[in-house]
């Protein structure tokens, strides 16, 4: 004779059911948010290109999300910029500016600190023509120039004038060669898409030093959500990046074009310089 088996259930109070439902919803939302949270983003710029063809070629073998900053008077500048464009790689005008160790540079590459905004525009236009398809610019050296608000403002005003006639305006990346730089501040104030360098990858060229700089870049990106590094076409840097970039897969860090990390705050109302003869330079009192 089979004895029926009774399954006894303990009634759950409605308050407990509600609490369990809320907890399940919170957990599901947390898991969903964690899964959907965007990765930290990094961008990399390789500076000082256009003068050494073998090093230029080596940089172009790296991931195409890495930008190239090209010195406009380099003998290989135009060819390199054209090849970068074929790779859909972003190119920047790497604009030389005067620095504290040698004072005002005398070459045709350098804008003079006393120039008017219109004279700055003419200089930037020439530089941009030497780097076809450029999408932005960053400064080469410039610790003297960018620390002066007046000179930097006229440079940015010149860029505003130039951008008015471009299909796609140039953005600005401040290389931050001095803690006193005004470049990002003035560009942002003028409503130009702007970003700043956080890490120099190869201030020291040894593999160990580059690895430590890379670690700082990753930590900065995790802390702030994004970070920009600048490197140079050293063989040690190229070899390191060739190994490090593929290793980012699945790390929660995404390599993006540098334009993805620029932002504009304006435009803000700033006086835009008009064509005028250059005046004698007077240090800004700001």
Instruction: Give whole-number Cα distances, 185 to 164, 182, 188, 268, 285, in Å.
Output: 20, 5, 5, 12, 17
What domains appear along the chain, each with residue ranges and CATH number? Answer: 44-261 (3.20.20.370)
Given a cut of 60, whether residue 125 has pLDDT beyond it is yes
Count of C-beta atoms within a 10 Å radius of residue 39: 17
Q: Are strands 40-49 and 91-97 parallel, antiparallel or unpaired?
A: unpaired
Q: Quick one: average pLDDT of 127-133?
A: 96
Q: What is the pLDDT of residues 60-114, one digit of tens each?
A: 999 999 999 999 999 999 999 999 999 999 999 999 998 887 666 767 788 999 9
Residue with tokens 């401040």: 174
Residue 36 pLDDT grade (very low, low, confident, very high; cuts 50, 70, 90): low
Is the per-residue pLDDT at 271 higher than 50?
no
Q: Is the preceding peptide bond at 267 cis, omega within 30 degrees of 0?
A: yes
pLDDT at 32 over 80: no
pLDDT at 38: 84
* Percentage above 90 pLDDT, the chain: 73
Q: For residue 30, report the phi and psi dihedrals to the nearest 5 degrees.
A: -65, -45
Partners of 140 in the β-ladder: 96
Q: Which residues of 154-165 are buried (b: 16+ CB within 10 A; e: fewer)?
A: bbbbbbbbbbee
- pLDDT value for 266: 55
User: What is the rounded CA–CA span in Å between residue 72 and residue 30?
Assistant: 50
Residue 256 CB partners (closer than 8 Å, separation 6+): 41, 42, 43, 65
Model-level pTM?
0.80
pLDDT surpasses 50 at 285: no
- The pairing of strands 67-70 and 171-174 is unpaired
Chain mean pLDDT for the chain? 83
């Amino acid at each position: 004779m089979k004895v029926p088996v009774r399954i006894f259930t303990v009634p759950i109070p409605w308050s407990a059911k509600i609490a369990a439902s809320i907890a399940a919803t919170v957990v599901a939302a947390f898991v969903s948010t964690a899964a959907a949270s965007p990765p930290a983003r990094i961008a990399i710029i390789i500076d000082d290109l256009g003068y050494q063809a073998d090093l230029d070629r080596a940089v172009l073998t790296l991931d195409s999300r890495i930008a190239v900053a090209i010195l406009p008077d380099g003998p290989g500048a135009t060819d390199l910029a054209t090849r970068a464009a074929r790779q859909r790689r972003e190119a920047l005008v790497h604009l030389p500016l005067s620095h504290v160790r040698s004072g005002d540079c005398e070459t045709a590459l350098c804008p003079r600190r006393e120039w008017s905004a219109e004279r700055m525009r003419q200089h930037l236009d020439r530089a941009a023509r030497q780097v076809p398809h450029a999408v932005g610019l960053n400064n080469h050296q410039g610790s003297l120039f960018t620390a002066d608000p007046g000179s930097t403002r006229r440079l940015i005003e010149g860029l505003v004038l130039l951008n008015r006639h471009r299909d796609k305006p140039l953005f600005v990346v401040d290389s931050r060669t001095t803690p006193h730089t005004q470049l990002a501040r003035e560009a942002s104030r003028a409503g130009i898409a702007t970003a700043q360098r956080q890490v120099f990858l190869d201030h020291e060229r040894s593999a160990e030093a580059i690895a430590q700089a890379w670690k700082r870049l990753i930590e900065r990106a995790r802390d702030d959500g994004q970070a920009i590094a600048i490197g140079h076409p050293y063989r040690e840097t190229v070899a390191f990046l060739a190994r490090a970039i593929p290793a980012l897969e699945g790390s929660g860090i995404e390599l993006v074009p540098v334009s993805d990390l620029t932002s504009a705050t304006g435009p803000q109302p700033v006086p835009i310089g008009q064509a005028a003869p250059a005046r004698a330079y007077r240090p800004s009192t700001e």
